[in-house]
Amino acid sequence: MSIYSTNKNGRIATVAANEAYGANDIGRILYESQLNDQAIFEAVIASDFMEIKGLREGTLLESEIKALNEASIAEFFKKIGEALLKLFRGDFLVFLLFLGITLFLWWSQTMNQSYETLMKVPVMVSDVPENVRIISQPVRYLNVSLSGKGSSLRKSGRRGSRHVVYVSNSSFTMNQGHASLSTLRLRDSITALLPPSVSIRSISPDSLVFQYAQQHSIMLPVEFSGTTESQDQFFLERIEFSPDSILIKVLDSDTAVHRAVVDAGQIMLSSDTLMRTVALKRDAGVVYSQDEVQMTVLSQQYTEKSLEIPITGVNFPDYLVLKSFPSRASVTFWVKMSEYDLVTASDFRVVVDYNDIAGSDASRARLRIISQPANVRNIRLQTRSVDYLIERTVY
């Protein structure tokens, strides 16, 4: 289909030429005339010799385009209907009927004949004791050769592939790490899956074989491996795991020392609680009861606090009394925000040790902190030494 446009001066320009253009594409025609206010657009569909006129400013008549669309669609479906009527005339329907009857008779005759086929039956070892580990697994499928009528064989194939034949570990002959079982002993179990008219010709392989070893179980506590870094004065309180211990199974011949360790990498302490699922480090040859544990990191935010602590003497003879200048020392430390008011000056003891000043000519004595609460950290003495006098007591 070709589309043309013309202006009032009679000049013709080809806008588009494509057999695939339809009525909707006509709306895309734009023509820019040198005289904008006088531009008139016309489109001629060469194949149908239909004409659509445009309004001024290049706007096409939407009602005419819609009518053209509806007419084209109706014509298309009309042709489809005529083609279907020609196809399904009386002679053709009779042909289809006899063809269907022929196919049905052929199928019935085929399904009543005897055939042979191969069916795969999944097999699995069950009831394995806790102290036995299968090192090399037996085959996962048995190849069963069947004979019977075609219709019955089709049903057998569907049944066999959907049902697993479970073989108890106690059915195997166990001898020094080698277990074996003749597949003929599974014939009855497989026959139960088949229709009565289907028979088993052979089963391959002729034996189920696997290697095993003795093992024992150990319960191990979960250990943390990694580092923590404090942010915003959050400090680590403790790390908890759920579960806090796991069961591992190791071979009796394995004499190595095993641990249940999680490698959490670096943990940034920026809140009071952090929960994360972490994987366990796995040792070769060890069976773990689970691969991951839930880790909860608990931390507390600390704040700074200062207290004035009285200075006392220690290790002084009974007849000597210490007088220090000043008599109190300022101690600064970090304490949990939740326990800020619980820490008081009586929890600390700042002293001058007589052993440090006995026989010394120094005019200043060094201060020591010999007692502090367990719930504080980063303790600092603002005054490290003081002037002092030693008075003798007269009785």
Which secondary structure element, helix H or strand E, spans residue 33, and what is its range? none
Residue 375 lies in a domain: yes
Residue 44 lies in a domain: yes
Amino acid at 314: V
Amino acid at 395: Y
In a shared domain, residues 231 and 287: yes
More confident residue, 56 or 278: 278
In a shared domain, residues 335 and 289: no
In a shared domain, residues 228 and 186: no
Residue 92 lies in a domain: no
Cβ neighbours around 270 below 10 Å, total: 13
Residue 153 binned pLDDT confidence (cut-offs 50, 70, 90): low
Backbone angles phi, psi at 346, to 5 degrees: -70, -15
- Name every residue whose Cβ is closer than 8 Å to that of residue 235 and which is 6 or more positions away in sequence: 269, 299, 300, 301, 302, 334, 377
Mean pLDDT, residues 194-207 taken together: 84
Residue 148 binned pLDDT confidence (cut-offs 50, 70, 90): confident
Residue in 140, 202, 138 with CA at minimum distance from that of residue 169:
138
- Name every residue whose Cβ is closer than 8 Å to that of residue 51 and which is 6 or more positions away in sequence: 42, 43, 44, 45
More confident residue, 85 or 367: 367
More confident residue, 147 or 127: 127
Residue 27 binned pLDDT confidence (cut-offs 50, 70, 90): very low
Cα gap 128→269, rounded to integer Å: 46
Residue in 190, 225, 193 with CA at minimum distance from that of residue 204:
190
Bridging pattern class, strands 385-392 and 364-371: antiparallel
Which of 159, 185, 205 delimits the end of a domain? Answer: 205
Q: What percent of the chain has pLDDT over 70?
A: 71
Q: How many domains does the chain have?
A: 4
Mean pLDDT, residues 364-378 taken together: 93
Residue 13 binned pLDDT confidence (cut-offs 50, 70, 90): very low
In a shared domain, residues 313 and 363: yes
Which of 146, 175, 205 delimits the end of a domain? Answer: 205
Q: What's residue 47's pLDDT?
A: 41
Residue 278 lies in a domain: yes
In a shared domain, residues 334 and 384: yes
276: helix, strand or coil: strand
Residue 91 lies in a domain: no
CATH code for position 187: 2.170.120
In a shared domain, residues 45 and 76: yes
Residue 99 lies in a domain: no
CATH code for position 256: 2.170.120.40
Kindly provide the residue ranges of all beta strands, DSSP E only, lying in 318-357, ordered along the sequence.
320-325, 328-336, 349-353
CATH code for position 337: 2.170.120.30
For helices 150-162 and 90-111, angle between their N-to-C axes, nearest 10 degrees: 70
pLDDT tens readout for residues 77-127: 777 777 666 666 656 666 667 777 777 766 666 656 666 778 888 899 999
Cα gap 360→161, rounded to integer Å: 97
Cα gap 206→193, rounded to integer Å: 19
Q: For residue 58, is pLDDT > 70? A: no
Cα gap 373→339, rounded to integer Å: 11
In a shared domain, residues 229 and 186: no
Cα gap 280→220, rounded to integer Å: 12
Residue 31 lies in a domain: yes
Q: What's residue 265's pLDDT?
A: 87
Q: For residue 46, is pLDDT > 80? A: no
Q: What's residue 386's pLDDT?
A: 93
In a shared domain, residues 288 and 330: no
Residue 157 binned pLDDT confidence (cut-offs 50, 70, 90): low
pLDDT tens readout for residues 158-200: 555 677 889 998 899 988 899 999 988 888 888 888 777 777 8
With contact defined as beta carbons under 8 Å apart, do 312 and 322 qualify? yes
Alpha helices by DSSP H, the chain: 23-26, 62-87, 90-111, 150-162, 187-191, 354-357
In a shared domain, residues 77 and 134: no
With contact defined as beta carbons under 8 Å apart, do 31 and 43 qualify? no
Burial tier of 124 (Cβ tally within 10 Å: 0-12, 13-18, 19+): exposed
**2 CA to centre of own chain:** 58
Mean pLDDT, residues 39-47 taken together: 41
232: helix, strand or coil: coil
Which of 205, 233, 251 delimits the end of a domain? Answer: 205
Cα gap 333→376, rounded to integer Å: 7
Please provide the average confidence, as pLDDT, over all residues in the chain. Answer: 78
N- to C-terminal Cα separation, the chain:
133
Q: For residue 144, is pLDDT > 80? A: yes
Structure tokens belonging to residue 386: 């003081």
Q: Of 62-71, 126-135, 280-289, 300-309, where does mean pLDDT reach its minimum?
A: 62-71
pLDDT tens readout for residues 210-223: 999 999 999 999 99
Mean pLDDT, residues 57-77 taken together: 61
In a shared domain, residues 241 and 313: no
Structure tokens belonging to residue 120: 């795969």
In a shared domain, residues 148 and 189: yes
Residue 201 lies in a domain: yes
In a shared domain, residues 71 and 152: no
Q: Of 37-51, 210-224, 334-348, 354-368, where does mean pLDDT reach its minimum?
A: 37-51
Residue in 309, 337, 339 with CA at minimum distance from that of residue 324:
309
237: domain range? 215-301
Q: What's residue 323's pLDDT?
A: 92
Q: For residue 70, is pLDDT > 50? A: yes
DSSP 60: B
Q: For residue 201, is pLDDT > 50? A: yes
Sign of the CA dihedral 188, 194, 199, 204? negative
Cα gap 150→109, rounded to integer Å: 10
